[in-house]
Amino acid sequence: RSAVRAATRAIERAMTTQSATTTTARSATTTATTTLCVVTHEKLLNSRPLTERLRAETPRAFDVVVVSNEEEIDKMRRERADGDLAMLWWFATKEVTTAFASRRDVAERVKWMHSGSAGVDHLMAIPSVREHASTLTNGRGAFSASLGEWGVFACMHFAKRVDAMRAAQRRKEWIRMTVGLIEGKKLVIVGYGDIGQHVARRAKAMGMKVCAVRRTPEKTDPNDDYVENVVGFHALKETCAKADYVLVALPSTEETDKMINADVLSAMKDTAVLINVGRGSTVDEDALVDALRNKKIAGAALDVFAVEPLPSDHPFYTMENVLMSFHCADLTSDYHDLALDCFIKHAEQYATNAPFTNVVDKRLGY
């Protein structure tokens, strides 16, 4: 037994020495070559993804610096005046983001930008970002599961008459009323990207008949069996006219601005429901208020709005046929962890010169 213990200790010492040697060798070959500037909001500085995960999981090819104001940006410029830069936009204000991207000595060294969010309209609104020559990637796909669930939930909210049930409960009144099914109902998804596809997958599982409208129907996976058919924007009005539910999952671009307008709303059934999980600018809200007030459509479920926060005097707040969530349909407790998972994947691709998964087309805005 004594000999066995001695042998075990010898093996452990050898493994410890080998591990230390390997770690030293790896460190020597992964010297940071790019400064990663994380441009964030001061409220997020002490969040777990930044304090516990960012430096631990970011590839060693990066020297990580976190900034949340102009003074910190200028300090970074002084201390790291040379070498390549990458920017991680981590939910910073427009002012701080602009301050970073507009510094000429910074901009000319930036080789890559990544948006923690999937939508990039906030970045496309900054000329020094929009016109920059570097590749921009984003968090597309990180939050699609929650939005997919919310899309189906919105359909069920109206089908099952949840508002009426809750009102009766508050009145302590026992009522019996008919409810609807979403099985067999037609769902038209306008904007069939990652979010739209997550909605389709769940809707199909619930027995809904799913159709989609997108800018480029030919990009649809030929093996996608969640949708019955996919058409272009030219067929938007006639396709929505046949829907029981119209779910909008469009990005905010010049092309999609108020795409869901009075003409589209007037073509919809008076029993139909509009759902928006994309961007508020894609719906003509004045036309939607009119359609809801005059019962041209049955209801609307809105997670996003043209102006956020939505002004307190907006009609949506008091309309009984409107379900509102406050741009938080994807705000799960692990929201920032999911965003960081997506960034780390892209950082590894950058460090190894592998193709990026999510490349934003700045001309299109998504």
Active site residues: 279, 308, 327
Q: Which DSSP letter does residue 233 get?
A: G
* H or E stretch at 334: none
Phi and psi torsions of 41, nearest 5°: -90, 145
Q: Helix, strand, or coil here: 210?
A: strand
Q: Strand runs (DSSP E) across the chain, as ranges?
A: 34-40, 62-67, 84-90, 110-115, 135-137, 186-190, 209-213, 229-231, 245-248, 273-276, 299-302, 322-324
Tokens of 20: 């230390």
Q: Which of 115, 93, 151 is nearest to 278 (CA)?
A: 151
- What is the rounded end-to-end Cα distance, in angstroms, of the chain? 67
Q: Indicate the length of the chain as a whole number.
A: 366
Triad 253, 138, 107: Cα angle to 5°: 90
Beta bridge partners of 35: 63, 85
